[in-house]
Amino acid sequence: MTHPGELLKKNGLYAGKELGQNFLSNPATACMIVDRTGVDKETTVLEIGPGLGAITLPLARACKQVVAVEKDSRIIPLLERELADEGICNVTIINQNILKTNIAQIAGTEKLVVIGNLPYNISSQILFQLITIRQVITHAFLMFQKELAERLLSPPGTKNYSRLSAVVQYASKISRVTDIRPNNFFPRPEVDSTVLRFDFFKTNGMGKEDEILLFSVIKAAFSKRRKTLHNAMSGGELGLTKKIVGIALKNAGIDSSRRAETLTVQEFIDLSRAVGKLITQRI
């Protein structure tokens, strides 16, 4: 693996700040991450943001196939050259924005393992995307800024528990894989990074429309997190009156004076179902 700084300089390129690019530069760290994913010769991997191939190279050697989605067309020829120099031919590169990529189509009849050093500026959006198509994903290993990783891991009742925490914990079991220091990247970021594992699952009794409403209820509840649920959920995108919100909270067995960060995932599900019944009756 050629050091990304050397590779970029040689080709008159630079790390795109607007793309949130911090390339993993330590081969040992990349190999450690791949080793901890447990992928094997029967695994098809979707890699988000392969960059200059730090993870792609050991990943391709370990698994059956890698489909690498890279938005930055400038660096794809460099990545192709790195792969060719190593004699690797089981990597398919797609030049596309991951947020506009049909992941289900890539999976076909298989299930994917998703791996990625996510661009920090769109990492939350990517997570929401993966949740909506999680039926084609067994698990994911994703790298985030450590601060965001801590939010995702935070349980209800803590200050870091957020809308994203609740949505992700609804759809997956999350565990910490490893923390990575800034000196493992080029250019060096100002913060530590964390790799998390997501084991996705389907929640029984929740269809597509149920999930859409659930995510809207969670969003409304956290929209004004300093306010009580009764006040935070009134008006806004859901268009609920205070009366409807009060009835829904009562029917769900939730004290209207509580705040969003105190609710468990199951309580959000109960509240969403209560809201759904009231909306149906109103219509």
d(CA 175, CA 195): 9
24 is in an annotated binding site: yes
d(CA 180, CA 58): 18
117 is in an annotated binding site: yes
Residue whose token pair is 């890279």: 70
Closest CA to 250 of 225, 270, 220: 270
d(CA 221, CA 175): 25
My answer on whether omega of the bond before 4 falls inside 30° of 0, hence cis, is: no
47 is in an annotated binding site: no
49 is in an annotated binding site: yes
Residue whose token pair is 């080709």: 11
User: For the residues of 7-46, what is the DSSP string, one character each?
Assistant: HHHHTT----GGGT--EE--HHHHHHHHHHHT--TT-EEE
160 is in an annotated binding site: no
Q: Widest CA span of the chain, in angstroms? A: 66
Q: Are 114 and 140 in contact (CB under 8 A)?
A: yes
d(CA 249, CA 252): 5
Q: In Å, what is the CA distance from 113 to each residue of 26, 28, 118, 158, 274?
A: 23, 21, 15, 30, 35
Run of H or E residues at 67 = strand 65-70
- SS3 label, residue 209: helix
Cite the annotated binding site by residue number: 22, 24, 49, 70, 117
Cite the annotated binding site for S-adenosyl-L-methionine by residue number: 22, 24, 49, 70, 117
